[in-house]
């Protein structure tokens, strides 16, 4: 029975719990049993809150018994990336500098999923402070890809992606600064969504780069991802960058199809540096869209080639400012020393890992006197030109399609000592972050070695409805191929 429950979609669980066919506690117990045995070789979770999960599930069952609405995610287990503040639960950003820190408040998204009846199972592993593309930069050990445990799950939200891919939970939340939801979704073979910047509140997200960070869902299928997105999206007065009107509804339009849509295949992301198997799968995906009634054309996005360079100036610059708060004074780790200045140096030396230190130094240099205009200022100008490039494309196209990643999952340890190669893993995903546009990764078959391939769908700001319509068509085609 427990295996049957774990195999259910989030939508099916919510419907079964709301109708009384399943109890929320019953669902929680089945998933906790699976997590207890299934996470040992994966390490998707840093903190499993079993007692809290059973208590929250009990509250859902009590609400149903009292005749109250249990919410759209009634009894659905969910994992939370460890940079989302969760009251009473250690929230570390997978860093020694925050080891043991317990927030006194919940992030807005945590509040929203709980109000919708979801049951939190704990905090998922990640690259330290969301800086990485493999979840090998966690201070508490790497997460392994459930499709092949010798390989990385991607990052920085690798724990959230792996938890869903391994059927430990049907839903999870991650954050995406330069691809940190979409890239691990592609490598683990699940759906991952980066919403429009400002569509989902960042209140309670421990910041990496504030103008780029966005919270979004992981799910096993497009319908579950759409449901979770609708639950977490919407205006939040606690976030000054929150969009007043939120996003258009997506769940009710998943079956609208793509007939008449105009699709652009990004030519510059289909050549050098992209594995041939991945490029082939993406071309198969656009062929599916053509057969479904969309018109497809190749589009040249000339500034995409500069996106990686601009990102690795803007994001580290913002990180160097945001992470200055971790100084051993107010919270987290403190390494005692004779003076305050020496204490701060000793604390940060011991508390931050090498990748975080690398990016802090890069960002501090880019913001320093004499270099600000040449580096940070120029990068922001490039960002504006990229936004203009997108705007020009969307004058005659509804969505853009590309690979999500240049390769499928690579072996643990293979790239960790080569920062430049690691940074290139985000070459397909970064442009949407710089523009603030929505983008998502949908599984679409496998490469020659049997590893998952993700197709990326990009849309203009607040274009989630159209983006999900395209995703639903690709998902149906991929599932039909597997069934055949």
What residues are labeled active site? Answer: 81, 156, 180
Chain-centre distance of CA 43, in angstroms? 17
Whole-number Å distance between alpha carbons of 63 and 54? 14
Angle in degrees, CA 444, 449, 453, rounded to 5: 20
303 sits in the region (left: phi over 0; alpha: psi -120 to 50; else beta) called alpha
Helices marked H in 272-329: 276-291, 304-322
Whole-number Å distance between alpha carbons of 357 and 352? 6
3-state secondary structure of 445: strand
3-state secondary structure of 452: strand
Whole-number Å distance between alpha carbons of 456 and 81? 22
CA distances from 19 to 16, 65, 224, 297 (A): 5, 11, 18, 46
Whole-number Å distance between alpha carbons of 382 and 378? 6
Whole-number Å distance between alpha carbons of 342 and 282? 53
Whole-number Å distance between alpha carbons of 137 and 305? 26
Using CB atoms within 10 Å of the CB of residue 302, give its burial: 0 to 12 exposed, 13 to 18 middle, 19+ buried.
exposed
Whole-number Å distance between alpha carbons of 309 and 241? 25
Tokens at residue 451, please? Answer: 């590893």
Whole-number Å distance between alpha carbons of 239 and 207? 12
């Amino acid at each position: 029975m427990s295996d049957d429950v774990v195999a259910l979609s989030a939508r099916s669980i919510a419907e079964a719990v709301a109708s009384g066919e399943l109890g929320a506690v019953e669902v929680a117990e089945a998933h906790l049993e699976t997590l207890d045995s299934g996470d040992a070789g994966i390490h998707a979770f840093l903190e499993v809150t079993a007692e809290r999960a059973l208590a929250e599930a009990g509250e859902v069952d009590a609400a149903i018994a009292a005749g109250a609405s249990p919410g759209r995610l009634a009894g659905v287990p969910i994992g939370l990336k460890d940079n989302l503040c969760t009251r009473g639960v250690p929230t570390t950003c997978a860093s020694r500098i925050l080891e043991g820190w317990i927030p006194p408040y919940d992030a807005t998204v945590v509040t929203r999923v709980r109000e919708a009846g979801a049951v939190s199972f704990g905090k998922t592993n990640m690259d330290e402070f969301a800086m990485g593309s493999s979840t090998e930069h966690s201070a508490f050990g790497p997460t392994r890809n459930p499709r092949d445990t010798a390989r990385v799950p991607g990052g920085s939200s690798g724990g959230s992606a792996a938890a869903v891919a391994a059927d430990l939970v049907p839903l999870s939340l991650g954050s995406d600064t330069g691809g940190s939801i979409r890239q691990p979704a592609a490598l683990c073979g699940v759906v991952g969504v980066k919403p429009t910047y400002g569509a989902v509140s960042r209140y309670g997200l421990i910041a990496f780069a504030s103008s780029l960070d966005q919270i979004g869902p992981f799910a096993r299928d497009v319908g579950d991802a759409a449901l979770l997105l609708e639950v977490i999206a919407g205006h939040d007065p606690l976030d000054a960058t929150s969009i007043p009107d939120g996003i258009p509804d997506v769940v009710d339009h998943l079956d609208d199809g793509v007939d008449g849509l105009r699709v652009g295949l990004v030519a510059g992301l289909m050549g050098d540096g992209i594995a041939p198997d991945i490029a082939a799968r993406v071309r198969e995906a656009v062929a599916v869209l053509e057969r479904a009634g969309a018109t497809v054309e190749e589009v040249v996005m000339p500034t995409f080639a500069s996106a990686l360079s601009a990102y690795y100036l803007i994001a580290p610059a913002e990180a160097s400012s945001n992470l200055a708060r971790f100084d051993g004074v107010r919270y987290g780790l403190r390494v005692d020393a004779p003076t305050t200045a020496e204490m701060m140096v000793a604390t940060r030396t011991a508390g931050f890992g090498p990748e975080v230190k690398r990016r802090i130094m890069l960002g501090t240099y880019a913001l320093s006197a004499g270099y600000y205009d040449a580096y940070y200022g120029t990068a922001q100008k490039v960002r504006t030109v990229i936004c203009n490039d997108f705007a020009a494309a969307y004058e005659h196209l509804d969505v853009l399609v590309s690979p999500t990643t240049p390769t499928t999952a690579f072996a643990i340890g293979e790239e960790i000592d080569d920062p430049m190669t690691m940074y290139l893993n985000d070459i397909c995903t970064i442009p949407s972050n710089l523009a603030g546009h929505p983008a998502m990764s949908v599984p679409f078959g496998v490469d020659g070695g049997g590893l998952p391939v993700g197709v990326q769908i990009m849309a203009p700001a607040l274009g989630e409805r159209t983006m999900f319509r395209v995703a639903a068509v690709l998902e149906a085609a991929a599932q039909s191929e597997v069934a055949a």
